[in-house]
Chains A and B, each alone.
Chain A
């Protein structure tokens, strides 16, 4: 497969996906978790599965728009999310209503969380700072160990990963909470790891070949590292997927973006990062040739 030659296909696919994601976000908005909007989350073990309508009868008393999610083994638990900022006394009251109606043994909710909306904007800002800081750090390191063009390609592909992830959340309307940010940063970590291994091979191969045929150089390097890329992605994916399948609700929200991210990270290091380096490399070289002529 000639990856460099077909680079425009991959670029187009990625850009299309990202543009759709951004449009969706602009027009339909994002599905923000209460970490971002502020609000209250109550998780209660009802000891049996209770239909949503019955739960609504209680929750409607305080918030008609509360979202209700079943969780836990046999879906015995219920997670109630409201954009209202309820205080401790109010959440206790709500819990007591459930306790009375369903004769619960527990004396307190499994989880009760309340957040101010001020935190959301701060999380967003911090996340952006974190991505920028990580990118600069990586750019510096790669420039130091390799060359600036490798660093730049790596960072562009990282931004691609972050945007792709954002679009994924936007298109599939997944909830954006603070673990989403951790996930994006993790993907960046994983993706860069993958990218560097391929770059390392390109660097090594370019020492051994005198002819500067970059297309062949990149294609060969990717081919040589492909088995490793696949093996690593497979073992990491298996573990994270199991966490998603077996794990509890709280960790599922974290495992899913990791699964998606590992796939994107693997994709981008092969189909995005290296072709970008190809463009950077050949463009400046042809400029040089022009000057010489």
Chain B
């Protein structure tokens, strides 16, 4: 029995050790490659660098109506951002009237900000200045090709209206086509208050299709088609906050924070061994598992690591250490009261458990509030704190217990001094 437990114990140390080595340095096994955790974990804007903009809707709407408009706005912005080709943009509605757009890795902030805020307002205007149809009634917009007057194939933007738009367009073109003066037969296609083209209407157009000609190349035609397709924003947006973070700043902060974290962990590990001997060593294994688990969950859930997130992580490591300290202090007390090691571990563990659970759940309540009421970095802090607390409870309750029981049944148990008694 004793021998077997010792073998299992050493095996666990070896496994945890090699997994952490793999996590730090990455693994290469023939064809299979697992990159180091540092590369896998997604970085928030403050670490990766990039742009963020907070836009506020200028509207008096409230309640359901506002909610609906904000959702629409978000969808449109998402479409626009997608055309920028940003990897995993983060677009969230903050509070009631604000939208936060985070674009990691974007270098040209101006371009991004312009594009997010840009509304391609498309209007068809008759010679009297009356607006016939607007972009609102456009169902589809695409790039097409049409022969120009000189016989060259040139890119155009082809549109298809919805039912309402088609009807309005038909009525207007019918009226225009009946005019005799060519000046009065033109329909002006206006994008963002700029006349793009003004074709002459020869006959009524009833199929709901229209073409915008202009001196486009393929790229500019695609851009316009995209902007029209994305539609007009349902509300006017005002920039209330913008931030550009250089990537060098981010990388520097990450490396330094990792260094700080590593030294802090090392001191904590040593402290635990000095204070609690064998259990302290067990706590170190448990902590290592805890950190690996927490980081894996963060990778799995696509949680982005931010600077406050690092602080949250360190704080939750503190809580994980605390759970172990609570258990070991109890075991020490039980040993001092004269119980055998096996008894002391059992009852000490049981007694510490209510403290561990109650204290962690109350902290969890605070973390949850942070997550739900916080924005941006505060939210990130809340998420890492919640993940950290849950994992720390699980590892303290199950892993520490399992390892303690293993060692109780080995030769190590002969000397209760090794358990801090």
Indicate whether B370 reaches chain A with its CB closer than 8 angstroms: yes
Bound complex: CA of A118 vs CA of B54, how far in Å?
12
What chain A residues lie within 8 Å of B256 (beta carbons)?
246-248
**B241→A113 contact, CB < 8 A:** yes
Binds A, one of B106-114, B213-221, B340-348: B106-114
Whether A88 and B354, one on each chain, are in contact in the complex, defined by CB atoms closer than 8 angstroms, is: no
In the complex, how many residues of chain B place their beta carbon closer than 8 angstroms to a beta carbon of chain A?
72
Question: Does the CB pair B315–A251 fall under 8 Å?
Answer: no
Assembled-state Cα–Cα distance A133/B333 (Å): 37
Q: Is B62 an interface residue (CB 8 A)?
A: no
Residues on B with C-beta less than 8 A from A225 are: 329
Q: Give complex CA distance A164, B54 in Å.
A: 32
CA distance A201 to B252 in the complex (A): 44
Inter-chain contact A142/B362, CB cutoff 8 Å: yes
- Interface residue B355 (Cβ < 8 Å from any Cβ of A): yes
> Is A179 interfacial (CB-CB < 8 Å)?
yes
Contact of A88 with B109 in the complex, beta carbons under 8 Å? yes
What separation, in Å, do the CA atoms of A250 and B47 have in the docked complex?
10
Contact B257–A247 (Cβ < 8 Å): yes
For A181, give the chain B residue with the smallest CB separation.
B378
Question: What distance in Å separates the Cβ of B389 from its nearest Cβ neighbour in chain A?
Answer: 9
Inter-chain contact B351/A242, CB cutoff 8 Å = no
> Could you tell me the distance in whole angstroms from the C-beta of B384 to the nearest C-beta in chain A?
11
Tell me if B311 and A240 are in contact (CB < 8 A): yes
Q: When chains A and B are docked, how far (Å) is the Cα of A12 from the Cα of B371?
A: 35
A172-214 with Cβ < 8 A to chain B: 178-179, 181-182, 185-186, 188-190, 192-194, 196-197, 200-201, 204
Given contacts A182-B378, A224-B333, contact A88 B113 (CB under 8 A): yes
CA distance A186 to B310 in the complex (A): 13
- If A134-B369, A254-B308 touch, whether A192 touches B271 (CB-CB below 8 Å) is no
Given known pairs A88-B109, A240-B315, the reply for A196 and B358 (CB within 8 Å) is yes
Residues 90-117 of B, flagged 1 when their CB comes within 8 A of A and 0 if not, give 0000010000000000010110010000
The B-contacting residues of A in range 123-180, CB under 8 angstroms, are: 126, 129-130, 133-134, 137-138, 141-142, 145-146, 154, 178-179
**Contact digits for A94-132, partner B, Cβ 8 Å, 1 yes 0 no:** 000000000000101111111110110010001001100
Contact B241 A250 (CB under 8 A): no
Q: Does A245 contact B (CB under 8 A)?
A: yes
Q: Is the CB of B310 within 8 A of A114?
A: no
Identify the interface centre among B56, B329, B351, B367: most chain A CB within 10 Å of its CB: B329
Give the distance in Å from the alpha carbon of A254 to the alpha carbon of B369 in the complex.
Answer: 19
Is B186 interfacial (CB 8 A cutoff)? no
Number of A-B residue pairs, CB cutoff 8 Å, is 225
- Which among B268, B355, B368 has the highest number of chain A CB atoms within 10 Å? B355
B265 at the interface (CB under 8 A from A): yes
Q: Quick one: which of B28-50 are within 8 Å of A by CB? A: 46
- Say if the beta carbon of B246 comes within 8 Å of chain A: yes
Q: Which residue of A lies closest to B241 (CB)?
A: A115
Residues of chain B lying within 8 A (CB to CB) of residue A106: 246
B241 and A138 contacting across the interface, CB-CB below 8 Å: no
A residues near B373, Cβ cutoff 8 Å? 126, 129-130, 133
Q: Is A193 a contact partner of B363 (Cβ separation < 8 A)?
A: yes
Known: A110-B246, A193-B362, A246-B259. A185 touches B95 (CB 8 A): no
Is B175 at the interface (CB under 8 A from chain A)? no
Interface of A is mostly: helix
Min CB distance, B43 to chain A, in Å?
Answer: 13
Residue in B107, B259, B318, B358 whose beta carbon sits within 8 Å of that of A236 in the complex: B318
Is B310 a contact of A200 with CB atoms below 8 Å? no
Say if the beta carbon of B242 comes within 8 Å of chain A. yes
Chain A residues within an 8 Å CB radius of B377? 178-179, 182
Residues in B whose Cβ lies below 8 Å from that of A145: 358
Contact A247 B260 (CB under 8 A): yes
Q: Please name the residue on chain B nearest to A196 by beta carbon.
A: B359
Please tell me if the beta carbons of A118 and B359 are within 8 angstroms of each other in the complex. no
Say yes or no: A239-B268 contact (C-beta < 8 A), given A141-B362, A181-B378, A251-B307: yes
Chain B residues, Cβ within 8 Å of A181: 378
Give min CB distance, A187 to chain B, whole Å: 9
Asked whether, in the complex, the Cβ of B242 is within 8 Å of the Cβ of A243, the reply is: no
Q: Which residues of A contact B83 (CB under 8 A)?
A: none
Beyond A243-B260, A245-B260, whether A196 also contacts B242 by CB under 8 A is no
In the complex, the answer to whether A251 meets B310 with C-beta atoms within 8 Å is yes
Question: Is residue B286 contacting chain A, with contact meaning CB distance below 8 A?
Answer: no
A129, B373: Cα distance in complex, Å: 8
Q: Contacts of A245 on B, CB cut-off 8 Å?
A: 260
Distance in angstroms from A238 CB to nearest chain B CB is 5
B window 362-408: CB within 8 A of A: 362-363, 365-370, 373-378, 381, 385
What residues on A are CB-neighbors of B46 within 8 Å?
Answer: 250
Interface stretch, picked from B65-73, B150-158, B320-328, is B320-328
CB <8 Å contact, B369 and A130: yes
- Nearest CB of A to B316, in Å: 10
Check B370 against A228 for contact (C-beta < 8 Å): no
B231-265 with Cβ < 8 A to chain A: 239-246, 248-249, 252-253, 256-257, 259-261, 263-265
- The answer to whether A134 and B243 touch (CB under 8 A), given A235-B271, A235-B318, is no
Is there contact, CB below 8 Å, between A235 and B109? Answer: no
Q: Select the residue from B249, B256, B275, B312 with max chain A CB neighbours within 10 A.
A: B249
Q: How many whole Å from B401's CB to the nearest CB in chain A?
A: 18
Q: Are B366 and A189 closer than 8 Å at their CB atoms? A: yes
Q: Are A196 and B362 in contact (CB under 8 A)?
A: yes
Smallest CB-CB A-B distances: 4 pairs: A236-B318, A239-B264, A110-B246, A189-B366
Can you list 12 A-B contacts with CB-CB less than 8 angstroms, sorted by A residue number?
A: A112-B244, A116-B239, A116-B240, A126-B373, A182-B381, A188-B366, A194-B359, A228-B322, A228-B326, A235-B267, A239-B318, A254-B311
Interface residues of B (CB under 8 A from A): 46, 54, 56, 95, 107, 109-110, 113, 239-246, 248-249, 252-253, 256-257, 259-261, 263-265, 267-268, 271-272, 275, 307-308, 310-312, 314-315, 317-319, 321-322, 325-326, 329, 333, 351, 354-355, 358-363, 365-370, 373-378, 381, 385
Chain A residues close to B by CB (< 8 Å): 43, 45, 72-73, 88, 92, 106, 108-116, 118-119, 122, 126, 129-130, 133-134, 137-138, 141-142, 145-146, 154, 178-179, 181-182, 185-186, 188-190, 192-194, 196-197, 200-201, 204, 224-225, 227-228, 231-232, 234-236, 238-240, 242-243, 245-248, 250-251, 254-255, 258
